[in-house]
Every structure is written in structure tokens, then in C-alpha cells.
Chains A and B, each alone.
Chain A
């Protein structure tokens, strides 16, 4: 009978489980919780690159896990912490609550969330002000086609994503105060089909430049842009490698740089729990053009855009930041 078979399976499993000895390493260890697949060529891929940079530059042990739901966040935080990981990074705004919930039980582990505002003795947010770059991209879109429309497609409507869209729109309106920008969310991070469909709908309503911030679903946006012959902007990572003919430029975070800096502080015992902000002025955030499509941007526009980026870096232009 099946029942007996399963019972046997459990017996075998328990026996094996008994044999298993937990290897408690004494070295410094860093873990990453990604909310999506590290193959997304964007938000999660960038974080994984950051994790590998920590491994290579600091010579420490690293581990990564894909987690989708708050219970999974908590389970993974808890498991890494109890196994003695000194730094556990929850990659996104959505990891704050789980980090705050688990942190008191593991005072010797630092929980870092990439975005958010939650601070505890061993919990801190690392906020990437991608808004700096998306502001510049919005301006670029409005300058390229002053009588056109721009749009943005997001995964879920969360502050860290919404903030990039608000800044994108502000940038466009910086060029032309009544420049229309439409925003659409697909309600998840994986559904390429939904992203493509949402983008096509926006294009049908006149959108000519589309910015995506939908992680693994992002390629769906690029696909729609390619199909209709419009240009798209990438986010978080250099994304013209994903869609060389569609991605004009990307708002990029140098996550490896930021991760290595934080990890070094934690390793050296210098870490202090406080919100850490990375901006264009720090060089962590940047706009990267697709060299293959350089000709699309006229020289004068390019000049103005570069000037605006410089102003953002110098903080002479106010970029709206999301309240996290």
C-alpha cells in the first residue's frame, strides 16, 4: 500500500537525517534572499553578482535562496541566522517585516534589506536611489519625442518600484511640464506574457518610450517594444544585453560595489544599523546607454541629458525620492 511506502520513505529519511551533521563553519558567511530567479538579467541577477563579488573580494562563504512569500522570507532568514551566517541580505522592500520579526532572536546576525526604512539594532535598509537615474531617463524620453507619450510597466505596486516611476515622470515633466506618462502594474514579477500584453496595450494608447521595472517579467516589455518598433529603458542592471535592438538605455545600480562595502563593515565589526543610501552622487547609480543605439540620441539631446545628470549628481535638481 501507498501508506506503508510513504511510511518507509519517512523512516529512511529520518535515518539519513540522523546521520547528517550540521557543518558549522566559523568563517564569515553571507546569504542572499532573492525574490525571483537570479537569471532575470535585472534586479535579482544584479544582486547575485553583488553576492559573488563579496565572495571573491572578501574571500568569504556565500549562499543564495529564491523566496517568494513572506513565510518563505521568514523561514530563510531564520535558517541562515541559526546556522551562523553573519550577514543575510533580503533583496527588496518586501523583506523588511520578516527581517524585523526574526532579528531579535538572532542578535549576532545582521539583516540587510535592499530598500525600505526599517531599522533595528541588527536590521538596516540599503536604499538604492534608482530615482536619480530614472529621472534622467524620463527627461531623455521627453526630449527625444516632445509630442509623444511615455509609459512604465511595473511588477507589483510597491514603494520602491512606484518611486522609480514617479521620478521617471518627474524627469519627463522636467523637459515638458505636461508630458504624459502612463503607469501599469502586472501584479507579479514572473509573467512575461502579462508584461508583454500590458506593454502592447500602452503602446496602442500612444506610448513611444517604455520604462520597465518588473524583474523577471521585464523581457516581456522589451519583446513588446521590439514588436512595435519603439524603444525601452532597462532597470537595475545594464539591460541592452537582453534586448540589443530595443533597450536604448538603462538605469543601473552598482550592487557589487554596495554589497562589498556593507559586507566589509559587518566583517570588520564596524557596521552600524542605520539607513544606508546609495545615489548617483556616490556613483552607485548611473544611466548607461546602449552603444549600438547611440545614433538614436541627437548630440544636443545627449548634451542636455548629460548636463541634467551632472545636476542630479550635484543635487542642484530635486529628484523626488520615494518615502519608504
Chain B
């Protein structure tokens, strides 16, 4: 399978990358590990004539407990015992992404921004042409929920839910400089499977920042899928917080793999603060999350089942949440 010709740009700084992207607005993609973009390019999904490769931008590499460069390979995070110990939920998620081979090249930024997925979208040009193209690529209608307005492609990254629960922030570079904002705001809750990010054209995610308080929390990420490797999440549930038998000091919960964006449920978790996390409260929380999500039939497992698993996975994630190390 060859790729159609494109022009390859290799900036060496964030500013140069952003400048290029502004000049090429709408005609370029950023390329980091390539494990998400290149399969899509091979399937002729939303090709652009310019690729801006980020591998030579040193600032995007490297990680500490406070900051992870956007082009840091997932395997490098996974291989850092201190990082894993500090953020147990993230550690779970790191081990669950695709396969070790994908994680060797795939990057943090790539996983946070992974293209939304759908049975009608992740297909070859031939396949899509035989059915009629869809909203998300080359067409004007949705085959999942037949209409012409909204795309239901599913957010399928594993790391976003885990980092969302830690109040992580993303550092974004754009034509007007840098800004930091909560990771949750990277995703467009009012959008859909196409308009899924709040990034302006040319904006580049530079790094993820973790607040001091993110360390040492309990955490867990649980992923539903058919096979223990390869598969994208059919559901991903992340929890983090500080609690014991007597009281909940902090609790955060995020879900991916069932909607067009990864979603945090503060409105459901905040009422639990200050009280013990009883079985009843956990069950109520689990059922409440379940009621909030509406998966559609565009992945391998049936949507009713995925929805039902939301409650089970929430309960289990809370029960299995491990104490993070490296506190303070």
C-alpha cells in the first residue's frame, strides 16, 4: 500500500512548525509517531498535501513527572517506573494502548489527539466508495445514525481519560503564542466526531503538564475490548482521587471509547466529596454515569453492552484503584 505523494516538512522548533502550519492552513497534518495518521493515509482518509514531521523538534520530546512532551513515545513513559508509580491510572492506560510495537513509535500527543473511529470511516477507499462516502470523509451523510448533520465517530484514545482525571493541562502553541488550558478543553464537547477538538488551525499541542497534586493519588484505568492487545477501547474508564474508608477528599472520573470525546463527570463525583465511599454511593455513581452516555453501533461490541459495562467498569475501577507513589 503506497502513500500518495505529499511534501514533507521537518521543522526543528515549535515556532517553525506552527509557522508552517499557518502557511499551509487546511492543507497539512502534523506527523509524530505516525501509527494513527499513516494507516488513515493508506486508506485515503482525509489526505493533505503537506505533512509536518515533528520528530526533529527537541522541545516536544522528553518527560518528567511534571511535564510530558507531546512527541514523547508512549513506550518511554511506560519504561519509566517513577512515572508509572506516580500515576497508576496512566500506567494502566499506557500498557493498554494498541500493542507494544505501536507504543514504541506512537506518542503521547498522538494518543491524546487520536482520530475518532467508526466502522464506516476506518475503511479503504474502495470499501467506502462501494457504500457511499460518509460525513467524516468524502461524503455528506452518516451511516450510523442516518442523517446529514452529526458524525458519531468514537473517541478511541486510552490516555486522555486517565490524564483527564489528574487535572492535566495541555500546552498549545499557535500563531498567537502559547497558552495552557485544561486537557478537558482540548476536546469539543459541543462538537461531534469531526469537529472534535478545540484546536484552532495550525495549533500544536506541545506538552502535557501535570499539577503537583496529581501525584500519589489512587488511580485506575480499565479498558473494554475483545482482545488484550491490538484493539481500540470499546470503553475506557479512568478514576483518580484520594479517599479512604472514612472520606473522599478528591475523586475524578472520566470515560472514553463511547462518545465523540473523552468526558469527565465532575457533576457526578463532586457530591461524593467529604463522605465515605460506600458501596451504595459507588453503585449510584456507576448507574449515573451509565445513564449519561449513549454509545452507538459503530464498533465491534454492541452499544447496549458497552453502555452496560460503563457501570461495571466504574465500580471496578474504583475498587481496584491503587495508591500512587511519589507523592509530594
Chains A and B come from one and the same complex = no
- Residues on B close to A: CB < 8 A? none
